[in-house]
Amino acid sequence: MAVSHVIERSRIREVRAPRAGKGEYVLYWMQSSVRSGGNMALAYAFGNARTRDLPVVTCFCIDPSYPEANLRHFTFLSEGILSAGAGLSRRKIPLVLRRGDPVKEIADLAKDAAFVVTDRGYLSYHKRCRETLAREIGCPFIEVEDNVIVPVERASQKEEWSAGTFRRKMERLIPDFLDMPGDAASAGKAPDVDGIPYQDVKTLIHSGIDSSVGPSPIFRGGEDEARRRLETFIGEKLSLYPSRRNDPSQDVLSHLSPYLHFGNISPVECASRVMETQKPGMDEFLDQLIVRRELAVNFVHYNPRYDSFQGLPAWARATLGDHARDLREYTYTARELEGAKTHDPYWNACQNELVITGKMHGYMRMYWAKKILEWTRSPEEAYSTALVLNNRYELDGRDPSSYAGVAWCFGKHDRPWPERPVLGKVRYMNAAGLERKFSIESYVQRVEALIEKYGIPGRY
Ligand SMILES: Cc1cc2nc3c(=O)[nH]c(=O)nc-3n(C[C@H](O)[C@H](O)[C@H](O)COP(=O)(O)OP(=O)(O)OC[C@H]3O[C@@H](n4cnc5c(N)ncnc54)[C@H](O)[C@@H]3O)c2cc1C
């Protein structure tokens, strides 16, 4: 893995750029990159602090009203904070917590800062927080883009049409963006700042949040756990990935998506480690990790309607509109879908897998959303139901890949197919395909074993 102390210029954006004033520290506002290792924003903060002979203070602000977040997400987040806090404290870097509106809380800490650095997020919530904070603080404010391989505006200047068009642009850029930052060390004693010790994070997530969806019994957050999963994947599954990754009855996926979503591990680190191995499966995995994942970032960055039916391409909206009144063989309400109460045992199995574990198999996600479209009264209602359920239960939900994944099932990044009822020219999937390609019954049995072991939590 190439280590560099210089952060590639196009990863850095000046959100606010007055001259640096007096201040007691450089503040790193950790939001999207909940990790101490391989963190370019932190490395940038350190480089900056060194030139001013100042210490670095790190802060994470828990926002109880973060859109669509519930106890499942907050639990995973808090495990990531404990792990990052421990990693930082080994390097004598303080991590303090605040709770509330991040703009207000970070602006308060910024009063004594010479410089504020943050990581980058792509959803409207992240963009709004950063732009509002820039108006509230007096010192320079820098954003470092370290949760993608190729920075989004560097990869493409526009919303891409398909993975094919995007892949061609990415292939020549990727080699230039594989440097990892060296681990920063403390630049002197940090002052005591007003905040809650990171060790107390669990006390911050039990009141005033949606607790209707409980923690995953399978997935635990944190950077050590993320690295363990990466190494297990490389050691045991990578070479099987090309032939078996679509098969829901097999466990050959990396399970890295929740860790990437919460920034517990850097995608640069994942890609570099996999490249080092030169194992079979490397190209197929990197295509998902880099091209598919960053195509999703491209979608939400350039399409302001990424979270609605209106964000789909015109041909997909038109064909779904033409078939909106077609007779549906089955229709279900959002509540029936949420409770896995359909006639289809494969669909019910994947919905139960999602509700119990917080992570549905990748191939079943396509089948799942296609069937929601087929069985819901209108395509608009289907779109919002799929997104709500995805974001409510998936640990990796509320991510650019959530919006691109659902949109793909409704035609985004795809092409028109032969026309048929209800789906029009949008690609169709059926249960016979699952039966033909996979041992789908053993997937259903695996989910039944999960139900037996953990029960179906919540509201049914
Ligand atoms: C309807 C639908 C909803 C989806 N919702 C989400 C979501 O909420 N969050 C999310 O992260 N992904 C989502 N995806 C994309 C994909 O299914 C998951 O990223 C993948 O299943 C995660 O499991 P893994 O890490 O074990 O995957 P692996 O196969 O091991 O892939 C490695 C990494 O590549 C990336 N990746 C793989 N497939 C895709 C893809 N199709 N699009 C974008 N990136 C991909 C992910 O970062 C993943 O962690 C969705 C796909 C669909 C069709």
**pLDDT of amino acid 20:** 66
Query: Nearest residue CA, atom 6 of ligand 1?
Result: 402
Q: Tell me: the pLDDT tens digits for 16-39? A: 887 767 899 999 999 999 999 999
Q: Same structural domain for residues 27 and 99?
A: yes
Q: Which two tokens stand for residue 333?
A: 């309400």
Indicate whether 2 pLDDT > 90.
Answer: no
Q: Which two tokens stand for residue 377?
A: 């009264």
Q: Same structural domain for residues 323 and 414?
A: yes
Nearest-atom number in ligand 1 for the CA of 406 is 1
Q: Same structural domain for residues 153 and 298?
A: yes
Q: Same structural domain for residues 407 and 365?
A: yes
Query: Nearest residue CA, atom 35 of ligand 1?
Result: 289
Q: For residue 32, which of 120, 100, 97 has the smallest C-alpha distance?
A: 120
What is the mean predicted confidence (pLDDT) over 399-412? 98
Residue with tokens 């209106």: 310
What is the mean predicted confidence (pLDDT) over 408-421? 98
Q: Same structural domain for residues 338 and 282?
A: no
**pLDDT of amino acid 186:** 61
Q: Same structural domain for residues 238 and 351?
A: no
Residues found in the chain: 460
What are the pocket residues of ligand 1 if the criterion is a CB atom closer than 6 Å to any ligand atom?
A: 245, 253-257, 260-261, 288-289, 292-293, 296, 362, 365-366, 369, 390, 394, 396-397, 399, 401-402, 404-406, 408-409
Residue with tokens 């210490």: 55
What is the mean predicted confidence (pLDDT) over 413-431? 98
Of 248, 283, 302, the last residue of a domain is 302
- Would 203 be classed as within a structural domain? no
Rounded Cα gap, residues 121 and 33, in angstroms? 9
Distance of CA 366 from the midpoint of ligand 1 (Å): 10
Rounded Cα gap, residues 381 and 372, in angstroms? 9
Nearest-atom number in ligand 1 for the CA of 296 is 43
Q: Same structural domain for residues 34 and 82?
A: yes
Query: Nearest residue CA, atom 37 of ligand 1?
Result: 288
- Would 71 be classed as within a structural domain? yes
Q: Same structural domain for residues 316 and 268?
A: no
What is the mean predicted confidence (pLDDT) over 195-205? 95
**pLDDT of amino acid 114:** 95
Q: Same structural domain for residues 55 and 87?
A: yes
Rounded Cα gap, residues 167 and 186, in angstroms? 40
Query: Of 257, 290, 364, which is best to mutate to test ligand 1, by the most ligand atoms within 8 angstroms of its C-beta?
Result: 257
What is the mean predicted confidence (pLDDT) over 158-163? 98
CB contact at 8 A, 406 and 372: no
**pLDDT of amino acid 460:** 47
Query: Nearest residue CA, atom 52 of ligand 1?
Result: 405
Residue 63 has phi, psi (to 5 degrees) of -105, 105
Distance of CA 257 from the midpoint of ligand 1 (Å): 6
Indicate whether 136 pLDDT > 90.
Answer: yes
HSE (CB half, 13 Å, CA atoms) of 250?
18
Number of domains making up the chain: 3
Nearest-atom number in ligand 1 for the CA of 261 is 11
**pLDDT of amino acid 21:** 73
Burial label for 416, CB within 10 Å (0-12, 13-18, 19+), is middle
Rounded Cα gap, residues 160 and 147, in angstroms? 19
User: What CATH number does residue 393 fall under?
Assistant: 1.10.579.10
Q: Tell me: the pLDDT tens digits for 164-195? A: 999 999 999 999 999 988 776 666 788 889 99
Q: Which two tokens stand for residue 57?
A: 């203070």
Q: Same structural domain for residues 142 and 152?
A: no
**pLDDT of amino acid 4:** 63
Residue with tokens 């010192």: 139
CB contact at 8 A, 341 and 351: no
Indicate whether 159 pLDDT > 60.
Answer: yes
**Chain centroid to CA 403:** 10
One-letter identity of residue 223? E
Q: Same structural domain for residues 312 and 440?
A: yes
User: What CATH number does residue 32 fall under?
Assistant: 3.40.50.620
* The three-state (H, E, C) secondary structure of the chain, written as one string: CCEECCCCHHHEEEEECCCCCCCCEEEEECCCCCCCCCCHHHHHHHHHHHHHCCCEEEEEEECCCCCCCEHHHHHHHHHHHHHHHHHHHHCCCCEEEEECCHHHHHHHHHCCEEEEEEECCCCHHHHHHHHHHHHHCCCCEEEECCCCCCCHHHHCCCCCCCHHHHHHHHHHHHHHHCCEECCCCCCCCCCCCCCEEHHHHHHHCCCCCECCCCCCCCCCCCHHHHHHHHHHHHHHHHHHHHHHCCCCCCCCCCCCHHHHHCCCCCHHHHHHHHHHHCCCCHHHHHHHHHHHHHHHHHHHHHCCCCCCHHHCCHHHHHHHHHCCCCCCCCCCCHHHHHCCCCCCHHHHHHHHHHHHHCCCCHHHHHHHHHHHHHHCCCHHHHHHHHHHHHHHHCCCCCCHHHHHHHHHHCCCCCCCCCCECCCECCCCCCHHHHHHHCCHHHHHHHHHHHHHHHCCCCCC
Distance of CA 400 from the midpoint of ligand 1 (Å): 10
HSE (CB half, 13 Å, CA atoms) of 171?
7
Q: Same structural domain for residues 133 and 167?
A: no
Indicate whether 353 pLDDT > 90.
Answer: yes
Q: Tell me: the pLDDT tens digits for 295-317? A: 999 999 999 999 999 999 999 99
Range of the domain at 336: 305-454
**pLDDT of amino acid 182:** 79
